[in-house]
Every structure is written in C-alpha cells, then in structure tokens.
Structure 1
Amino acid sequence: MPPQKFNFNFAPAEEEDFDEEEDIEEEMYGHPMLMRKATPEELEKIEKKQLAEYPAKTQKVIGVLKNLQQKYSDLEKQFEEEYLKLREKYAALYAPVIIRRNEIVTGEVEATSEELSTVALSEVTTEKTEDLKGVPDFWYKVLLHSEIKAELIQEDDLEALKFLKNVVMEEFPAKPKEESAEKKEEEEEEEIDYKHNPGFRIIFQFNENPFFTNTQLVKSYYYEEADSEDIATSEGTEITWAEGKDLTVKVTTKKQKHKSGNRTRTIQVKEPKDSFFNFFKNLDEEIQKEENEENMILQELLEADAEIGDILKERIIPNAVDYFLNVALPKEGDFSTVPEVADMLTQIQAGLTQPQGEGGEQPAAGQQECKQQ
C-alpha cells in the first residue's frame, strides 16, 4: 500500500548472459521474488527444464492444465471489465442521491412536500420549535459516531469540527503522463509515481472559522494500478492555520541553559500533539529515506491511513444518515490494523519537528524532547 512497497517487477535487469541452464536455474528459480522481471526467453527455458522432469504423455497433460489456466485468466479479465462497467453504472446512479442529500443537509434547498410525505420515521416528542436551515451539526455528529472518532478525533478538535458543513467523496481518473516522463522511465530506474494513477479524494468543506483560512481540506488517495483498488499513497491539503490556532502542535515555554555559563533564556518549543487534522499531513516523502525503525512506523501509519480512507469512502459517507443517528454498527475487522493511529502520528511528528528557540535557533539537545499528548 504505501509508496515503498516491495514491487518485484519494476527494476530493470542488468545485462547478463545465461549460457548454461545451471546459471538460469540459479538466477531465475523462484523468479517472482527477484527485484527484476524475467524475460519471456528466460521463463521459456525455466518451463522447459521443469517439463523435462516428466514423460511426454504427462507433459501433454500439463499442457491441458496450462490451457485451463488460460481459460480462467480470460474469464478473470472478462469479470474485471464487466465489474468496472457495473461500478461506473451504479456510480452514476448513486451521484444524484448523494447530491440531493448534501443539498438538504446544508440547507441549500428544502425537502419537497412529496419527499416529506414518504417519511416513515416516527416523530419523537421534543420542546424544540425553532425553524432550522438544513440539519445543523450533521457531519460533526457523523464523525463523532464513526469508527474514526476513537482513532483520530481529540477533545481539542471538537470546536473546529463544529464548522464542518459537508463531506464529499469524488473519484478521479488516471492523469496522462508527459511524453518526456514516459521516456525517462524507460531509460532509467526511478521511483514509481503513483500520483498519475486513478483514485479518490475525500473533501471536507468548512464554514468560515477562527482556526484556519481553508474553505476545504482534501485528502487524495491513489491506487497502485489503474485496474486496482489497493491504495498506494495519499496526499493532503496543507492547512493555513490562524495565528496561535494550530491544533496539531502544543507550544510550551522552557528555560534553556547557555553552553558557556550559568545564564538561561526562555524559549518556546512546539511539540506535536494528537489531532484529527494530522490526517491531512503528508508523510510519503519520509518513506523514501533508508529503512530504519522510524521508517517502519511510517509504513504502519500509511497502512492505517489507507484503511481510514477506505472506511470513509465505503462506509461513512454512503451511510452518513445512520452514523448521524448513531445506529451504524462497525463491520467486523474494521481498524483491526489501526492500533493507536493518533499516537503513532504524534511519534512521527515528534521526530520530524525541531523545536525553535528565539531567533530561530535550535535549543540544546536536552531541550528537544517531545512528549506525546
């Protein structure tokens, strides 16, 4: 899922001669685990070596099995093509329903008398009499009643989330690659750019608020392949925070001892803290660094991030009314691989954030500790 996956077929092979079958077997046996793609000629030699272990009649039987496998592969391809068409058909049918729901929730339009006449919901006795526009706090309550609440949303986030007016999911096609980029990929080995692939984005639309100037925060997810729904990477909107309103950091005042004497000075240290809005941070660039303990934590975090994206796309947004009414039950296995997501993100940010002293100077080593919230 994350960008740094073990993709066993992308690195070009160096030029080598396979004059002896022993060399072929040593180099290519178990070739799916190699960091390069076997050539058709190499695969043919491997296949012949395997067939040579059986008599002619059995080789014919193996040929029948190979034909059956090809039939299965043809059917699988046909299924994928028809499944894609079916998804496109129902996506077009879903769209006006979701659009109508959003219009009513935000108060852009009122429910028609015809729509109201079909309501089967039992009225509950209430003392509320005011005439409300749309359904206030709809998406705020959707998120609070959802699976992601326990993993991402903190108490300090609640006031900002009150300004959330709509959440929309959009799918997007693959981006065409520039001709120069395609040639470059053919000529030299380079990291796979998943951001040309199709995917989907989750758009969080906000009313004007005192926390940030963005009118919407977007999280985009990119698939591993054009015909795959496995998420490879993601990117989020950079939040433009109002002065002193950044919910992803805590500013603490500390005293720093000067190296040359007993003098001390006061510095402000920004320490990362758990927040729903960490969801929009981009960590994929850190994945490109050499593997170490921090890198492994990033891998787990990005896997968790992809799972959150899937749950938003497949469960929370389509079933938002059930979540609003707090009657949506999580499916078995949801977040089975997302333990302590917020804590993990804080830990990563602690490693990436450098405390700043007065004038932008770095505090002494002892001052660079960052506590998790």
Structure 2
Amino acid sequence: LWDVDNPELSRLLHFGESFPVEKLKMEGLGEQGAAGAVGPLLGAVAASASPQLLPGYSLDADFIESLPLAVKCRVYALKKLQAKSAGLEAKYLKEFHSIERKFAKIYGPLLEKRRQIINALYEPTKEECEVYGPEENSEYEDLEEYCEEEGHNMDEEKEDPKGIPDFWLTVLKNVQEITPLIQKYDEPILKLLQDVKVKYSKPDEPLTFTLEFHFEPNDYFTNEVLTKTYMLKSKLDYSDPHPFRGSAVEHCIGCKIDWKEGKNVTVQRVLKKQRHRFWGLMRTTTQVFPRESFFNFFNALQWGLDADEDEEDVFIAHTLRTFVIPRAVLYFTGEALEAEQEGMFRECNNLTSDRITQEIQVAAVDGAKVQDLVSQAEDIDR
C-alpha cells in the first residue's frame, strides 16, 4: 500500500488524514475490522486517482492513446529525440572512461611512490617531507632542529617503525561507508594490506573498473590480490533505450578467497555434542555459520535480488574508486572525515536556521492573530 509512487495518492491514503481508523478502533472494530471498513474507501480513492484525473502521474499507455493524434505524433518525436540523446550519453561514457584510463597512467607513478613509502621500500627526502616551508607557514620549524632542541636524536631512536604501519587499515576505518563492515577479527588481516588500486578496462574491452586489494604473504589466505570488478552499462539498448542511466553498474564479479585451514573469518565454527539415537554414544560435530566480515565484500553478489544491497555495494565501490584511493592520506590523517563532518554540520546548521526562522515567522503571525483577537474582545466589551 505504501509503495505507491503517486505522491498525490499517497497523501490521500494517509490514514490519519483521510480515514478515521483510530475512531473505528475505539468503536470496537479492532485493527482488522478497521482495515475492513477502510478497504472499500481505498478502492474508491484509487479509482478517483485514475490516469485521466492525474495525467502527470500516469505510467499507463492508455494515457498516450487518449491524446489527440497530432499531440501523440509530437510525443513520439520527443521520444525519438530522447533515444538519440541516450545514444550520445553512451558515447560520452566511453569517452569519459578513456579519459579516466589516460589519467590513471599519469597518476600511476605518484601512487606507486606512495605504495613504496607506505611499505618502507622508499624513504622520502627532507625536501619531500616539507609540505609547508617557512614562506608558506610562519610556524614552520625544521624537524631536525626541533629534535635537537628537545634532546632527541632520530638516528639513535630504539624503535624505528618501517614505512607507515596500519596505513590502509586506518584509512578504511575512517571511511564512513566501510567502518561498519570491519570487525575486530578483520583488523589483523587488514594490517597486512599493502595497497589498494583501481584498474580500468582496455580500449577494446567492455567498460569495467576493478578494485584491487594487495596483501603481503600471510597466514590467512593464499591470494596475493583480492579483486572486485564492476561492469558498466556502455551501449544503448535499442529495444528500450529510454531507461539508459549513463555509467550505471550492470553487475559485478567478486573473487574466491582461498582461506587457509581454520583461518576463514567470514564463518564461525561451533563445536556441538550429539548423542547417537540408538547407541547412546556421544560425538562432537562442527557446525559452520556465516558471520559479518569486511571480506564478505568480495563475495559474488547475486545482482538484482536485493536493490538496497546492490545500491550499497555500488556506493562503496564508487567511494573507494573516486575518493579514497586517490586521497588515501587525507583519510589516514582524518582530514577527509573532518571535511565530511563539517559539511554535515553546515547542512544541519542551515536546516536548523531555516527551522528557527520559520518558527519565528509562525510565532509572529500567531502573535498578530492573538493580538487581533484581543482587540476584537476589547471591542465587544465596550
């Protein structure tokens, strides 16, 4: 009942506004009786909201057939133009994908140096570490000078962590859409994550992008890389061109994780004792139950069965591809998260400000009405 796409019909079907359901319940009909009494009314409302009365909301072909012939021909001309527009949109997507592929090669050396720094394969120079020099930041102090003043010698430090420990684990935990997926038992594995990349399909291949998670050799699985590939809608369906949605994901392909014995964190093993039905002997069996894990992200998604699940999966992939992978260091430091929160606060503040302004206006109107009523009462008293 509440999945009606027609906003006017949804408004009419609002029980609290259109039907005295609560009153029917109070009269002893109960919920079922109230629903039965309302049923005929719903049919009447649905009939009254027919396409003829609400043509703007109609999805029925009968509405088109009811149009005058000249108008109908013009509508068909518009639909033909729309089909051509969708064809251009498909070409635009291909061009845009080729540009992404081109710039991925340009970004490649920078992202490769980032990987080397994170994994202690390259030590940046002093100049490379100076993001803000004295001319840009008056509070800038040379790191070596600061260490000498404080009595620290960087060369004599006992603990010398290599690279940037737990870089990608910290990054993923600072991504709002991914944080709920990461469980405590996932973290030791994600600490071994060396790099996250996005790869685009070649010019002569169907349009896809692939997320790659590179792990160092570990005791959990034998895979060096875990992947998830997303197929993009890249050509026009001439039998039904109008629903074309540009870079919509048609479906995705996960990968099989080759877990080592007893190391699969996506399942929980429970030992259960059972008694033999006839002999009465006790035996111990192992039952396996699925459980929440970040690594379920790589499962083969049954595309199309659950629209919400599909949308959430695509949103995570889009966030990784567009924001997280290119700007990983800002998620590591938390700056990206702060920017998102500031944006949310600004939006909330704007909404709050609008609400307060509206309340002030309403109060002013109500005050004027009250004052007017007082004046009328005083006139009557006179």
Q: TM-score, normalised by structure 2?
A: 0.55
| Aligned counterpart in structure 2 of residue 140 of structure 1, from 151, 161, 169 | 169
1:250 aligns with 2:305: no
Q: Which residue of 2 aligns with 1:157?
A: 186
State the distance in 2 between where 1:271 and 1:64 align: 57
Is contact 1:249–1:273 with CA below 8 Å preserved after alignment? yes
State the distance in 2 between where 1:95 and 1:265 align: 57
Name the CA shift for 1:165/1:117 in 2 (closer, same or farther; >3 Å): same
Q: Which residue of 2 aligns with 1:323?
A: 331
Higher Rg: 2
Q: Which residue of 2 aligns with 1:222?
A: 231
What is the Cα deviation at residue 248 of structure 1?
0.8
Is contact 2:65–2:72 with CA below 8 Å preserved after alignment? no
What is the Cα deviation at residue 78 of structure 1?
7.8
Is contact 1:198–1:226 with CA below 8 Å preserved after alignment? no
What is the Cα deviation at residue 229 of structure 1?
2.1
What does residue range 254-269 of structure 1 map to in structure 2 within 5 Å?
Answer: 254-260=272-278, 262-269=280-287
State the distance in 2 between where 1:59 and 1:212 align: 62
CA deviation string 1:196-217 (max 9, x = no partner): x321111111112111121121
Could you say what secondary structure the match of 2:251 adopts?
Answer: strand
Q: Which residue of 2 aligns with 1:101?
A: 114
CA deviation string 1:59-112 (max 9, x = no partner): 998799789879967976786576556545544443333233223222332324
Could you say what secondary structure the match of 1:328 adopts?
Answer: helix
Is contact 2:172–2:179 with CA below 8 Å preserved after alignment? no
What is the Cα deviation at residue 325 of structure 1?
0.3
State the distance in 2 between where 1:226 and 1:103 align: 39
Q: Which residue of 1 aligns with 2:44?
A: none
Could you say what secondary structure the match of 1:241 adopts?
Answer: coil
| Aligned counterpart in structure 1 of residue 258 of structure 2, from 228, 233, 240 | 240
What is the Cα deviation at residue 308 of structure 1?
1.2
71-80 vs 85-94, which moves further: 71-80
- Percent identity for Structure 1 against Structure 2: 32
Q: Which structure 2 residue ranges, 5 or more long, are not aligned?
A: 1-58, 237-245, 345-382
Could you say what secondary structure the match of 2:219 adopts?
Answer: coil
Is contact 1:255–1:267 with CA below 8 Å preserved after alignment? yes
What is the Cα deviation at residue 240 of structure 1?
1.5
Could you say what secondary structure the match of 1:282 adopts?
Answer: coil
What does residue range 61-100 of structure 1 map to in structure 2 within 5 Å?
Answer: 83=96, 86-88=99-101, 90-100=103-113
Is contact 1:256–1:265 with CA below 8 Å preserved after alignment? yes
Letter in 2 for 1:279: F
RMSD: 4.1
Name the CA shift for 1:109/1:65 in 2 (closer, same or farther; >3 Å): same
Is contact 1:220–1:236 with CA below 8 Å preserved after alignment? yes
What is the Cα deviation at residue 222 of structure 1?
1.4
What does residue range 1-373 of structure 1 map to in structure 2 within 5 Å?
Answer: 53-54=68-69, 83=96, 86-88=99-101, 90-119=103-132, 129=157, 130-173=159-202, 197-225=206-234, 228-260=246-278, 262-284=280-302, 296-297=305-306, 299-329=307-337, 330=340
Letter in 2 for 1:246: N
Is contact 2:267–2:288 with CA below 8 Å preserved after alignment? yes
State the distance in 1 between where 2:253 and 2:76 align: 47
What is the Cα deviation at residue 143 of structure 1?
1.0
Name the one with the larger helix percent: 2
Aligned length: 257
What is the Cα deviation at residue 118 of structure 1?
4.5
Name the CA shift for 1:316/1:69 in 2 (closer, same or farther; >3 Å): closer
Where relative contact order (Cα < 8 A, 6+ residues apart) is larger, the structure is 1
State the distance in 1 between where 2:68 and 2:319 align: 50
Q: Which residue of 2 aligns with 1:366?
A: none
State the distance in 2 between where 1:119 and 1:310 align: 31
Q: Which structure 1 residue ranges, 5 or more long, are not aligned?
A: 1-32, 35-45, 177-196, 288-294, 334-373
